[in-house]
Amino acid sequence: MKHLYLIVFCSLLTLNLHAQNARKTYNFNPSWKLFVGDNDNAAAIDFDDKEWKSITLPHAWNEDEAFKKSIEQLSTGIAWYRKHFKVANAKDRKVFLEFEGIRQAGEFYLNGKFIGRHENGVTAFGFDISDLIDPEKDNVLAVRIDNAWNYKEKATNSGYQWSDKNFNANYGGISKNVRLHVTGKIYQTLPLNALLKTTGNYIYAKDFNIAGKSAVVVSESEIKNETSETKKVQYEVEIIDAEGKSIKTYSSSIQDIAPGNTATLNAESLVNGLNFWSWGYGYLYTVISRLKVDGTTVDELKTKTGFRKGEFKNGMVYLNDRVLMMKGYAQRTSNEWPAIGLSVPAWLSDYSNGLMVESNANLVRWMHISPWKQDVESCDRMGLIQAMPAGDAEKDVTGTRWDQRKSVMTDAIIYNRNNPSILFYECGNESISAAHMAEMKAIRDLYDPNGGRAIGSREMLDIPAAEYGGEMLYINKSATKPLWSMEYSRDEGLRKYWDEFSPPFHKDGAGPLYKGADASTYNRNQDTHAIENVVRWNEYYKERPGTGTRVSSGGVNIIFSDSNTHYRGEENYRRSGEVDPMRIPKDGFFAHKVMWDGWVDAKKTGIHIIGHWNYKAGTKKNVYVIASGEKVQLFLNGKSLGFGTKRDGFLFTFKDVAYQAGVLTAVSYDNKGLKSAEKQLKTAGEPAAIKLTKMQHPTGFKADGADLVLVQIEVVDAAGNRSPIALNMINFEVSGPAEWRGGLAQGPDNYILSKQLPVEGGVNRILIRSTTTPGKINITAKSTGLKSATIELTTLPVSIQNGLSSQFPADGLKPSLKRGATPAAQTYQISRKAIKIVAATAGANSDKASLSFDDNELSDWVNDGDLNTAWIKYNLEKETTVTEVELKVNGFRTKAYPIRILVDDKEVFKGNTIPSLGYFTAICKPTKGKTVTIQLLGSGKETAESGKIGVEVNGKKLDDGIERAEIKSKGGLSIIETEIYEAK
């Protein structure tokens, strides 16, 4: 019996030692105080902050201005944040603070002592406060934040390039999450290069067998021994699947780590039965990494990650061995909401980022600065690929500013390298030099050599170090590194504006000038905005993988959600989004959903009718249907209106349809005449009532002072159908422990924080924030002539002790697996085959003729401007039947060139090139031969339409090829790239 007691005692002692040494991470967001203004005494431990505003982080002190003011008018200045806290069991332990980020610069004081400064306004950083906290008493952290636009780094007196009033909305203060970590004195470090200079753990997979569902999983951690003895340390790794089942445990050999030393330990093993992370399939594992000394666990770290294979070759992106054409959005990194800014709870990040995937986007390119960790982890869960920038504005820089950019890239890579959704590292929003590209690549190779991520930038076409590239507002193609457009459409339009026949009867393009220039494209209605999305995307789609040796890897549309940044239309915020600021979809959202449904080739089942079907009697208008089928037929109340005219790949137009109340039905068919898809619009009855619907965290509305509920308001008819043309003003009443944050609509101050808010197109949304008091909340919506509605919300208590909580904003959020795993079959069809060009001669500059087929879109062949020399002749690898010739000519955007094409001196094409975003394809009379000649027949001419697309609204000339004096003459011909196709 004594022996049994001894065993039990020893077991309990071991468990107690384990408990004492176990890592503990706390939510450090609760129980902060805020004061807007400066105070010389605010850092003092005994300063009286009782009258300061009580808040829960994340919280921008100027949040009330989000979407109320234009970006350049957002308030700046000094704000103080203070927090009282106590850490239990902290004696002889390591204690760290982790900040996901602040805006712009912060000076930090613990118990009255200055502990450090962070200034770049982007990245995460941390502090070791082990020797500064009092484990028995109340501790006070005080932070002085300065969010001045022109803030300058103290050590260098240099500003930051990315503190820019065009794109980087200035939500000041501690606007991101904060955590506190307690560990033993031998521990795995945090991935916080800024200030702490530590790299944390690094998890990746290698030796993939995608079909066999296996890979070798490697986990390595930076270990510090801050005890007074050498420790024999073993590193153990356990992998837990999404259902909570342990699927593999493996260990490293034992290694001695001397006191005060740092070492990197790793373990690796083949793991079978893996579910690979993929687009729309956010399958995540929990990797537990343990440090064991003499068999006892002294530190344990849990990391959520996923495993996927990324490759970048043949001009294409490969995910898990399948080609994926990139399609998505260039989204402002602020990803903001009205009256909140970026500081939303994690579930709302999932909702917003999940909507991108719902529109069939697979990529979000965060713009200019690195995203915060909450959005990064959200994209992991949603299965949304990310392009992660460092920090920049619009051009390359040198000196201190370049050093700042490298520092941000280093910090961001270390902090985010375990997040599977990041597939691209972006080194610049504008081109950078070859030397700078090599420096950035060296950073990637040092800190993330095995993550399967490409590093690149815009305009990397002739820089070998770059692993991907692309452009903005036009198309590049490649046979080597993938090229995808970083931004391909900028048009803007309010969700409120259906068309000129619907209230408020907005004629397309109507609106103010922008800096004295016509801004029609920034004042669109939904009809033309959606159509423009189709027109733009189709040009990229025509050059997709499978269409030749040189292909486009797609592109991203700017932006996803209307943003509190750089507006050009009539409102004081940008309306380029496919959803509005409250994430209510516009027609462009559904246009993308149709066109983007597929890894490369669009599935034939997508269809959407633009607009609604509630008009005044006698109205005639064009009806537009977006579909991926071959033909579309329209029916009104069961009667066929015939087939639509197809253009731009996906758009079907039915001219002058006479409105008649009832049901409008569109049916698409495949090339065999079989039905592919159907869509209906129904006429709604007269507005009769208000309908309220709530959206919230799946585990409930938390009374933490930061959680939000999104409430949708609809005006509906007697049958519950939304009235698509209703513009009713809604009056709200709120009771219970809640903070009104409201919504947004066109009107005074954009109705920010107003409890009177109109619906637009029959719908709107509001945000309600919890307080720290749990309880019942009632929201009542009323409007003259409509039946009112009430919705009840309940906030759930959150446990907070001594300013700390073990509950986190992302707890309970599940990954989305809706799209399913990576397809087993090939994801694209080969629709045409390029024939290799082996040589070329020309009427002039024949020694430069090869530049027209060198797979470098920054080089070209040009003649001498004489019409007699305006020809180039290509020798093919073999005799073949030529069916198409594709050209990228200088002046591709603005000029039409009369040309003829000959195969072995037989004319197979005669006509004009068509201005485009890059490429013109000549459909030739199929002819067998071994040479192809392209000959200019006269001067290239600028058309009225192409002239418009050649100039930005601010007067800046858009990229149109390479400047050549020769092409301004009657006989000037310059070709950037030629590709010749043979019959399949």
Cβ atoms of 355 and 190 closer than 8 Å: no
Cα 760 from Cα 197, distance rounded (Å): 50
What pLDDT does 5 receive? 45
- What digits encode the pLDDT tens for the residues 67-90? 999 999 999 999 999 999 999 889
- What digits encode the pLDDT tens for the residues 335-346? 999 999 999 999
Q: How far is CA 670 from CA 9, 381, 675, in A?
A: 75, 35, 6
Q: How many Cβ atoms sit within 10 Å of the Cβ of residue 807?
A: 18
- Return the percentage of the chain with pLDDT > 90, whole number: 91
- Rounded to the nearest angstrom, the gap between the alpha carbon of residue 581 and the centroid of all alpha carbons in its chain is 15
705: its two tokens = 């002072």
Q: What is the rounded average pLDDT of the residues 246-253?
A: 98
DSSP state, residue 664: E
| Block residue for tokens 């159908």 | 721
- What digits encode the pLDDT tens for the residues 641-662? 999 999 999 999 999 999 999 9
196: its two tokens = 């702490």
Q: Is the peptide bond before 420 cis (omega within 30 degrees of 0)?
A: no
- Rounded to the nearest angstrom, the gap between the alpha carbon of residue 35 and the centroid of all alpha carbons in its chain is 33
Cβ atoms of 874 and 837 closer than 8 Å: yes
The three-state (H, E, C) secondary structure of 198-257, written as one string: CCCEEEEEEEEECCCCEEEEEEEEEEEECCCCCEEEEEEEEEECCCCCEEEEEECCCEEE
> 656: Cβ–Cβ under 8 A, 6 or more apart, which residues?
620, 621, 622
DSSP state, residue 799: -
Cα 626 from Cα 593, distance rounded (Å): 10
Residue type, 888: K
Band (948; pLDDT cuts 50, 70, 90): low
Cα 589 from Cα 582, distance rounded (Å): 14
Band (983; pLDDT cuts 50, 70, 90): confident
pLDDT score of 891 more than 80? yes
Element (H, E) at 793: strand 786-796
601: its two tokens = 């080739």
Cβ atoms of 130 and 93 closer than 8 Å: yes
Q: Is the dihedral of CA 339, 342, 345, 350 positive or negative?
A: positive
Name the nearest CA neighbour of 123 among 442, 400, 370.
Answer: 370
977: which strand partners?
Answer: 888
Rounded to the nearest integer, the mean pLDDT of the chain is 95
Cβ atoms of 610 and 531 closer than 8 Å: yes
Q: What is the rounded average pLDDT of the residues 768-788?
A: 98
pLDDT score of 151 more than 70? yes
| Block residue for tokens 């009667």 | 639
Name the nearest CA neighbour of 438 among 449, 427, 429, 430.
Answer: 427
Sheet bearing 125-128, strands edge to edge: 24-27, 178-183, 94-99, 125-128
Band (14; pLDDT cuts 50, 70, 90): very low
Cα 167 from Cα 565, distance rounded (Å): 5
What pLDDT does 947 receive? 56
Q: Which residues of 293-316 are buried (b: 16+ CB within 10 A; e: fewer)?
A: beeebbbbbebbbbbbbbbbebbb
Q: Is the peptide bond before 58 cis (omega within 30 degrees of 0)?
A: yes
- How many residues in total does the chain contain? 984
> 306: Cβ–Cβ under 8 A, 6 or more apart, which residues?
276, 277, 282, 283, 284, 285, 380, 420, 421
Cβ atoms of 216 and 239 closer than 8 Å: no
Q: What is the rounded average pLDDT of the residues 856-883?
A: 96
Cα 929 from Cα 880, distance rounded (Å): 6
pLDDT score of 908 more than 90? yes
Q: What is the rounded average pLDDT of the residues 896-921?
A: 97
Cβ atoms of 456 and 466 closer than 8 Å: yes
- Rounded to the nearest angstrom, the gap between the alpha carbon of residue 295 and the centroid of all alpha carbons in its chain is 44
pLDDT score of 17 more than 60? no
pLDDT score of 1 more than 90? no
Band (411; pLDDT cuts 50, 70, 90): very high
What pLDDT does 12 receive? 41
Cβ atoms of 892 and 914 closer than 8 Å: no
- What digits encode the pLDDT tens for the residues 707-723? 999 999 999 999 999 99
Q: What is the rounded average pLDDT of the residues 503-522?
A: 92
Q: Residue 509 region, left (φ>0) first, then alpha (ψ -120 to 50), else beta?
A: left
Residue type, 487: E
Strands (E), 306-449: 310-313, 316-319, 322-323, 326-332, 363-367, 385-389, 422-426
Cβ atoms of 853 and 976 closer than 8 Å: no
Q: What is the rounded average pLDDT of the residues 418-435?
A: 95
881: which strand partners?
Answer: 928
243: which strand partners?
Answer: none
778: which strand partners?
Answer: 735, 792
Cα 802 from Cα 28, distance rounded (Å): 10
Cα 132 from Cα 182, distance rounded (Å): 13
